[in-house]
Every structure is written in structure tokens, then in C-alpha cells.
Amino acid sequence: MQKPRKFEGKTLVVATHNKGKMRELREYLAPLGIELKSADDYNLPEPEETETTYIGNAVLKAKAAAEACGQICLADDSGLSVDALNGDPGIYSARWAQDADGNRDFLKAMALIHQKLAGQDNRKAKFVCAIALCWPDGHVETVEGYAHGQVIWPPRGPEGFGYDPMFLPDGQQKTFGEMNGDEKGAISHRRNAIEKILDKCFR
Ligand code: ITT
């Protein structure tokens, strides 16, 4: 197996258009002490997510970004996979919340999960976060991180974003929606994935 490629640049572009993700990624990457640029800084495109896996979509987004701006780009594809729904909404987590005009309503998406689970005792779920790091020459490194827990109803807490108020991590009393950034950051799927990519490419 080839050794992973190490990041030796001075600037890293975080290629997400999701503000909640961006906030968390900035926080987790801050200790690196490198310049972080955002999708907005380069007016990056939002490619259609046509792949069938988290990793596939993360690679697709990181590659499109690196091609567009000529910098090393990090992309995140993530979602909530519910066991009793065969992993749904999974890679379609953002799309479950979207209406015909492209607006997102996560209360509606959470209610849909709750509705589809009617009569089911199994509430096990996991958040998954795939991260792809792509160089301008097309080289890509990938990792996947997880947070295991269950989905609850009704949703609880104003913090975080997306499906956070519905997700109770294993061994915790608070949902992600009731945790502050540090509390979620200690155990989140995104933190888990970032630690893996830091070990692989930055340390
Ligand atoms: P980018 O593709 O621009 O990064 P996006 O929001 O479209 O932004 P995804 O396609 O990866 O990103 O969709 C992931 C969705 O899964 C996201 O919109 C959230 O609703 C949900 N999600 C992912 N991580 C989450 C987290 O930490 N907490 C709550 N919901 C999360």
C-alpha cells in the first residue's frame, strides 16, 4: 500500500457551503495554524452529488473544488444513517430536508424519520462523516468518522444544525442539539473524521 500523501501547503480550502459544518471544521482545524479559506472565498461550484456512498460524494466535491481553485481542498459528505430504515436518510440527509425550491426544513426531515419509524422499537442510528482531501493534480486521500447513538422524539435543543436535536449519542444525557460546540466536538462524527485525516496527512 502506498503511503498517504502529506499536506505541505500553507492554505487549505474547506469546500463546504454548509455553515454549520464550516463552523465545526474551522474549530477542529484551528490547531493546525494554517490559513483556512472557504467555498465563498473562491465562489466554488456546488456539484450534483451523484455518487452512492459518503466517500464517493466527498471525493466528488473535493475534486470539483480543487479543479476550480487550484488549491488543496477538503470536502465533507455526511449524514444520519438510521438502522431500522436501512441506513436512510444517509447520503440523502440534505435532500430529505429540501423542498422543490431548494429550501431546507430539518424539522420536517426529522418528523419524516419519526413517522417512518412508527411501530419500530429499534432506534439505533449513526452520524457518518466522510472527508476527502484533494490536491490540484487530482490526488485524493479519504477517511470516514462515526458517532453512534439513537434517534429520539421529540427533538431537543437549539444548538448545532441539521438533525442534531434528534440525535442522542450513546452514553450521553444530552442530544447534539443540547450540547455546546466543545461538548459535541469531543464526540462527533466530524471530529472523529478530522482526527483521522490529521493523523493520515497532517501529522
Ligand atoms: P456541502 O455539500 O456543501 O458540504 P451539504 O449540507 O449539502 O453541504 P451534505 O450533502 O453532506 O452537505 O449533507 C449532509 C446533511 O446531513 C447536512 O445538510 C445535515 O443536515 C446532515 N448532517 C451532517 N452532519 C451533521 C451534523 O453534525 N449534525 C446534524 N446534521 C448533520
pLDDT at residue 2 greater than cutoff 90 = no
The predicted structure's pLDDT at residue 3 = 94
Please report the pLDDT score of residue 1 as a whole number: 78
Q: Is the pLDDT confidence value at 147 over 90? A: yes
**What percentage of the chain carries pLDDT values higher than 70?**
100
Residue 26 has pLDDT above 90, yes or no: yes
pLDDT digits (tens, 9 = 90+) for 161-175: 999 999 999 999 999
Q: Which tens digit of pLDDT belongs to each residue from 82-97?
A: 999 999 999 999 999 9
Judge if the beta carbon of residue 79 lies within 6 A of ligand 1. Answer: yes
- Set of cell numbers at residue 78: 455526511
- Is the pTM here over 0.95, yes or no? yes
Distance CA 85, CA 113 (A): 8
Opening angle at CA 124, ends 122 and 127, nearest 5: 155
- Ligand 1 probe mutation, 63, 107, 112, 163, most atoms within 8 A of CB: 163
> Domain 11-202: which CATH class?
alpha beta
Is the previous residue joined to 154 through a cis bond, with omega within 30 degrees of 0? yes
pLDDT at 118: 97
